[in-house]
Structure 1
């Protein structure tokens, strides 16, 4: 899931989408826990590596919704999400220990608890619910509904006493109009209304996790923070899957080759490669440039869903999606000037 393109507090870059990756990541999909990265110095030339990293974030995080839709075709949703993030957490922990030594993974109890809470909101609430919803909702529609995360972030910041500015509130009103249009397929019976509402709940929880991450004491190393966020959220996803009885009657032998391949893609590309590219991008390019993924990812997701899964491009999806992307652009541009 892609995630917000607005900073909930100074020094906290946007997370990746809940589908991709957390870590917002918000986001949807997923690069949780990225914090403290500084924008590139003014006037610094952007080399080919920057554009390559940006292309990875654009395409990979945009494709995670398609990957999730293929995975949940034959794998139970919460078990799939849990397995994905536990695996990604262990791989990332191994990389952190290899690059910085095992001591880099040590955190005190308070920061561990904060990371676990953020992981529950981002991974279990955000990504897990997107997995559940995509058993019924087209991947492109899910991506567009999640794209409105910046709208929820602005509202949550306002509830916390902040004043994001008139431009941000204009983006909220525009975004709400877009969400209303995007909800029409559920109201008309074209897709399950429950699935649409589940995606909206996922986006709200992802936004809450993003805002909370700016206010809680987290491990100083953003990669270490992501390890514990993904581990907590992934383990919780497996527990929820077991409570829901997803293991009953589930035979790994019946999982399609496409689902296995998509799950591997989400772990390696969605949760590790794109996450690393985004973390590097935040240190090597202007944050305003990195933030553009928030309105490119849903477009990529819709196109891939239509091309690969033959998902219908109905007028509510096209019109509502355009309105939501415009709202995100307005919010991002407003935050960029602050």
Structure 2
């Protein structure tokens, strides 16, 4: 008996946000070591958006959206890509890629807290246990000696935390917002508007702009992979999932991403994995398990 097409699409979409996004921490770290972070993000999303619109046109998708849908895509793009991703990439200059991914794993905790504040949803006992473990895990993660005694690392930690808040808010917003029926088209508009905003912010901050031709081959290859897989494939899958399954379930990518990022950061960049980081990761993942235990995660019904 073959699986329904929609089930297959959902499984593939989760693979994209689990594994592909887990590798983007490493790819971002490689590029940001030699390219200004906001400038880098602006190039990534602008090029990706142009490719998306070309593909969408070839597939004869309707590119026309309403003014309200455009406004909602601009808001989503800012929360996800300008702040959530742009500032995150900037912060990776001060912390390891694996550590950044671990800190980002508190997103499910943030989503749950926001749903409590916005929707007034009652927090179950298992979720309270999960949040408590999450707080303990985060304390262990950020209280390590080699981080505490480096002022720049503390700045990176704080900024990544604000990025998690922005990304979580965007997830809840997209799940409810009036957007175009095509997830691919929405991704294109979110990226083109974010790319423009990031160019402007990069210019205002006085970042050094260098031609991609002058970058090292490793940075060029990493950027190519970020554009094709991290932006076009994974972000489209993310937009698709936010409209098809519950926000809490989509946020579970934060459980898997740190594992992928830690392994790749250790294997490729020789980043150190401390025993305290491993313990913190286990406690964090146990916390998010408790949050989703005994919770009904049903697909949402959306009118088209």
TM norm. shorter chain > 0.5: yes
Work out whether 1:176 is the aligned partner of 2:135.
Answer: yes
Structure 1 position 146 matched with structure 2 position 104 = yes
Aligned-residue offset at 1:252: 4.5
> Which residue of structure 1 lines up, in the alignment, with residue 32 of structure 2?
72
Aligned to 2:301: none
Which whole-Å CA distance do the structure 1 matches of 2:253 and 2:58 have between them?
Answer: 30
Give, in angstroms, the shift of residue 283 of structure 1: 10
Match status 1:333 vs 2:296: no
- Aligned position for 1:36: none
Once the two structures are TM-superposed, the CA of residue 275 in structure 1 deviates from its matched residue by 4.1
Shift of 1:116: 0.2
Aligned Cα root-mean-square deviation (Å): 3.2
Deviation at 1:112, TM superposition (A): 0.6
1:108 — aligned with what? 66
Query: Could you report, residue by residue, the CA deviation over 1:236-257 in whole angstroms, capped at 9, with x for unpaired residues?
Result: 1111111111136x46454221
Which residue does 1:259 correspond to in 2?
219
Q: Distance in 2 between matches of 1:282 and 1:161?
A: 17
Give the Cα–Cα distance (whole angstroms) in 2 for the partners of residues 159 and 284 of structure 1: 23
- 8 Å CA contact 2:111–2:248 kept in 1: the answer is no
Distance 1:220 1:251, change over 3 A: closer
Residue 210 in structure 1 maps to residue 171 in structure 2: yes
Query: Cα deviation per residue 1:48-104 (whole Å; 9 max; x = unaligned)?
Result: 988766555433211000000001011100011111111111211222222134xx1
- Judged with a 3 Å threshold, the aligned counterparts in structure 2 of structure 1 residues 76 and 334 are, in CA distance, closer, same or farther, namely farther
Matched residues in 1 for 2:170 and 2:248: separation? Answer: 21
**Residues 157 and 164 in structure 1, CA contact (< 8 A), matched pair in contact too:** no
Q: For the Cα contact (< 8 Å) 2:69–2:178, is it kept in 1?
A: yes
Aligned to 1:318: 278
* Aligned 8 A contact 1:133 1:199 in 2: yes
* TM superposition score normalised by structure 1: 0.77
| Partner residue, 1:197 | 158
- Contact 2:187/2:236 (CA < 8 Å) preserved in 1? no
State the Cα distance separating 1:332 from its structure 2 match.
3.0
Query: Does 1 or 2 have the higher relative contact order (CA < 8 Å, sep 6+)?
Result: 2
What is the DSSP-based 3-state SS (H/G/I as helix, E as strand, rest coil) of the residue aligned with 1:106? coil
Q: How far apart are 1:141 and its partner, in Å? A: 0.4
Q: Please show how residues 1-338 of structure 1 align to structure 2 within 5 Å.
A: 55-101=15-61, 104-166=62-124, 167-185=126-144, 186-189=147-150, 192-247=153-208, 250=210, 252=212, 254-275=214-235, 293-336=253-296
* Structure 1 residues 157 and 138, CA gap change in structure 2 (3 angstroms): same
Unmatched 5+ residue regions in structure 2?
Answer: 299-304
